[in-house]
Chains A and B, each alone.
Chain A
Amino acid sequence: MTPTRKRRLIAVGLILLAVGVATTLTVFALQQNMTYLYTPSEILAGKVPADARFRIGGMVKDQSIERGQSLTVAFVVTDGDGDMRVEYEGILPDLFREKQSVIATGSMQGDRFVATEVLAKHDENYIPRDVAEAMAKAHEKHVKEGNEEPEMENGQ
C-alpha cells in the first residue's frame, strides 16, 4: 500500500466514523425529542403507548374550564368524538379560550392528561393543521358509522 493510499484510507475511515457517530447522535436526539399528536378519541381508543410523552390536540370544550388552587387549571379537550380531561399548572396563553383549538404537551396520569405546556397558536378562524386533520378524521369516522353529527363549532 502506497503512503498516499494509506492516507486516503485513514481519511475515508475517519469520515465514515464521523458520519456514523453523527447519524447515531442525530437519530438518538430526534427520537428523544419527537412527540406525536393524538386526539382525545385516539387516546381513548388506546393508540398511545403507556408512559409516552405526547401532544393532545382538539377543541377546548365549552364551559369546561375549572380553576383550582393558585394557578392550577383543568379543562376538557374534545375532538367531537371523545373527551379528555387536561390538567395544567401555569399561565395559559393569550389565545386560549373555550371552543377554540388547543395543543397541550404532557403525558397520561391515570385517566387524565397532565400537561407541561399548553399552546393555542391560532387566530379566530384558524385551527392548527395537525388538529384540523385529526378532527376531520374523527368526523369522517362519525359519518361513516352513521352517528349523529358532532356538535362542533370549528369556525371553518
Chain B
Amino acid sequence: MRRRASIDLNGNCATIFPHPALRATFSRREKETSDLQLPILYSQLKNPAMLPELGQFALILALLVSAVQFVVPILGAHLGNRALMAVARPAANVQFVLVAIAFALLTWAFLDQDFSVVYVAQHSNLALPWYYRFSAVWGGHEGSLLLWILILSMWTIAVSLLSRSLPEDFVVRVLGVLGFVSLGFLSFTVLTSNPFARHIPGLADGNDLNPVLQDFGLIVHPPMLYMGYVGFSVAFAFAIAALLGGKLDNQWVRWSRPWTNVAWAFLTLGIALGSWWAYYELGWGGWWFWDPVENASFMPWLVGSALIHSQAVTEKRGSFRAWTLLLAIFAFSLSLLGTFLVRSGVLTSVHSFASDPERGLYILAFLSVTVGGSLLIYALRAPKLAGGEPFAGMSRETLLLINNLLFTCAAAMVLLGTLYPLIGEVFDLGRISVGPPYFGFMFMLLMAPIALLVPFGPFMKWRQGDVRAAFKALRPALGLALAAALVAWLITDHLPLKGVVGVALAIWVGAGITLYAIARWRNAPPGGRFTPEMLGMICAHFGFAVFIAGVLVTESTSVEKDLRLERGETAVVGAYTFRFDGVAHTEGPNFIADEGTITVLRNDKTVSVLHPQKRQYGKNTQIQTESAIDPGFTRDLYVALGEPLGDAGAWSVRIYHKPFIRWIWLGALFMMLGGFVAAADRRFRVVRESSAAADEPPSPAATARPAGQNS
C-alpha cells in the first residue's frame, strides 16, 4: 500500500498525490512532456535553475565526507597515526558546511516557491504564508531527515570546538562515531529520500501542507525534539569511543555530562511543546495519548533521565561505569528506534502522515547495525572498564540505583506496550492495540516510588548515608504534604483520591527540595552554596513536583462535556456558565472557517469570549478543528466546535474545564531549565590537562564534601 511519492534517482516521479486534482495535473503533464528534450525543460525553470541540483550535490559530497570522518580518524586512533587523526576536525567542519548549504537551498526552494522540486510541491503551495513555508521544510519525510542531519552536524561541530582539553585520540574517536551516524543518515537520504528530486517542468502550484501542521507548534516542536534526539548521539559516541579506546577517565565522564544534560533539556522542551501543541491543535483537549510516536520520544527521555543520574555517580564516585556506558548506548538506540517507528509507518499513529514502509527497512537495517554493533563492542570491552567504589546499602548511590532501575523499567514498559501490536502481528495473535490505561497504570506504579524517594536523594550522603538524619530533615515536608492534602480534600469538598495523592506528592517533592535548598544555604560556606550544577538539580526536581501536581490534579478534576447547544443556550461547567452565541463565517490567509462565539460567565460577569473555529484549507477538503482556550494559572477553559446539527443553528460543542493543566508544561519547563543551568557549571569545562589521573578513584576531598554535590 504505497501512498507517498516514490522517486527514482533520475528525478522522475511516479507520484501518487493525495489530492485528486493535483494527481490529474501531474499525469497530464507527464503525457505532455514525455517526448520533450531535457535542455529545453531546464530553460523553463525558475532562475537560477540549478540550485536544487547544487543542494543534492552538496548532500552527496557531505555523504563522502562523512565516510571519511568515520573511517580515517578511528583508523588513525587505532594506529596512533596523528596525521590520520588530524582529519577528524576539518572533516566535521566541511561536512557541516555542505549540509548547511543543502539545508539552506531546500529552504530557499520553499521560500521561492520552486514547485519543480517534488518535495516543495508536496508540502507547500502559493497560498501558504511565508512562515509556514519556512517550517514546511521539515513538514515531511525528506526535509525532516535533512533537519536531523543538520542538527547532528551542529552537535558534531560543537563537540569538535569544545573538546580541546580532552586527549586527541579520544576526541577523534568521538568524532568518528558521529561520522558513522551521519553516514547512515546521509546515505539514507541520498539513496531513498532525496529532498531535491525534480518534477520537470515545475507545477504552477503545489499541494497543501497538512492543515494540522500549519501552526506555530510545527515551527518549533520538531527542531527542539531533534536537538534532543540527536544530542544523545554525543553521549553515545562518547561511550563507543571510550569502549574502543578501552579506557574510561573520570574527567572524560565529567566532560560528557553537560552534553547529556543539554540534549535531555532540549528533548524535555520538545516533548512538552508537542504535548502543548496536541492539546490545543487536535481539538479534544488531551495532553498525552500514549501514541506510538509520543512513546518513541518518551523512551529516550526516560533512559536519558536515568543516564543523567548515572553519569553523576560515575563522575563523582567512579561507580556504575559499565552501566553508564550501556545507558548511553540505549538512549541513542531508542532515539534511532523512535526515528524508525515514525518514519517506517509500522505502527498506526496520528503521526503516520510521514511514513513509508520501504524506507523503514533501511532504518531498521541501520538500527540493527548500530545497536547490534555497539552492544557487541560493549560486550567485548565493557568488562575492562567496569568496576567502581563500594557503597553502603543506605547511600546516595543506592537511591540513584533505584532511580535508574525505575526509569529503565518505565522505558522497557513503554517499549513493550508500543511494540506489542507488532509482536502480536508477528506471532499471528490478531490485530491488537494496547490502550492508554495500560501505560497510565504502569507508569504511575513505577513513578510513585521515584516521587516518594526523590526528596531523600540530596539529603543522603555518598557512600554511607544516614536515613534517620535525612528523614528528620524532611519531616516538615511530610507534615506539609499531609496537611495540604487534608486542606485540599476539605476545601474542594470532593476531590478524588488521585487528586489528593497528587497534592500530597507534589508538596512532598516540592517542599523536600526546598528544604534541601534552605539547608544548603545555612550549612555551606558563602560563595560555595549553590553551584549552577546544584541549582539545576533543584530546579529540575522542583519542576518534577510542579509536573506531578499538574498531571494528577488535571486528570482527577477535569470536567469534559460534549453538548448540543442552540444559539443563546447556556451550559454550566464547574463554576462557569458557557453561552453559545452562534456561528458565523470567517476567512483566514489560506482557509475559510465557521467561527463560533462562546461567552463564558462567572457570577454574571463575562470572564472571556472564545472563538473556536472549524477550518477548511483551500483545495484540501479536510476539516480542521481549531479550539479556543482561555488559559489560566489555575485552570484552562477549553472550547471546541463539533459539527452543525440540524438546520436550526445548533452545534455540538466540547466544553472542558481543566484545572492546573498549565502546570504540566510549567513543570517540564522547570526541568528543561534545570538541565541547561546544570550544564552551564564551570566545573564541567575546566578539565585538567593531565590524563595521568586516569582511572584513579576520586580524591578524598571530593568524597568528604558535607552535603555532597547534586544528583
Contacts and interface: CB of A to CB of B under 8 A. Distances in A.
A67 interface: yes
B442 A26 contact: yes
A92 B564 CA distance: 13
Contact of B622 (A34, A92, A124, A130): A124
Interface string B617-646: 000011111000000000000000011011
B417 A30 contact: yes
Contacts of A134: 431
A36 B646 CA distance: 35
Given A90-B562, A92-B643, A35 B433 contact: yes
A71 B564 contact: yes
Contact of A71 (B16, B210, B437, B562): B562
Nearest to B350: A121
Contacts of A124: 18-19, 621-622
A39 B211 CA distance: 30
Given A95-B622, A123-B18, A132-B1, A25 B431 contact: no
The binding surface of chain A is classed by DSSP as: mixed
Contacts, number: 96
B625 A94 contact: yes
Interface string B76-110: 00000000000000000000000000000000000
A1 interface: no
B652 interface: yes
A147 interface: no
B597 to A, nearest CB: 18
A33 B438 contact: yes
Given A94-B624, A134-B431, A25 B445 contact: yes
B213 to A, nearest CB: 12
Interface residues of B, number: 45
Contacts of B431: 36-37, 130, 133-134
A63 interface: no
Interface in A1-51: 22, 25-26, 29-30, 32-37
Contact of B348 (A94, A125, A128): A128
Contacts of A61: none
Interface in B540-573: 562-564
Contacts of B625: 94
B430 interface: yes
Interface string B641-669: 01101100000101000000000000000
Given A29-B442, A91-B643, A124-B18, A71 B563 contact: yes
Given A34-B434, A35-B432, A94 B622 contact: yes
Contacts of B210: 123
B643 A32 contact: no
A65 to B, nearest CB: 11
A109 to B, nearest CB: 20
8 contacts: A26-B442, A29-B442, A34-B433, A36-B432, A67-B645, A91-B654, A92-B642, A95-B623
Interface of B: 1, 3, 16, 18-19, 210, 283, 345, 348-350, 352-353, 409, 413, 416-417, 420, 430-438, 441-442, 445, 562-564, 614, 621-625, 642-643, 645-646, 652, 654
Given A92-B642, A130-B433, 11 more contacts: A25-B445, A30-B416, A30-B417, A30-B420, A37-B430, A67-B645, A95-B622, A123-B210, A125-B3, A126-B3, A126-B352
- 7 closest A-B pairs by beta carbon, nearest first, are A91-B642, A33-B438, A37-B431, A33-B435, A70-B564, A130-B431, A33-B437
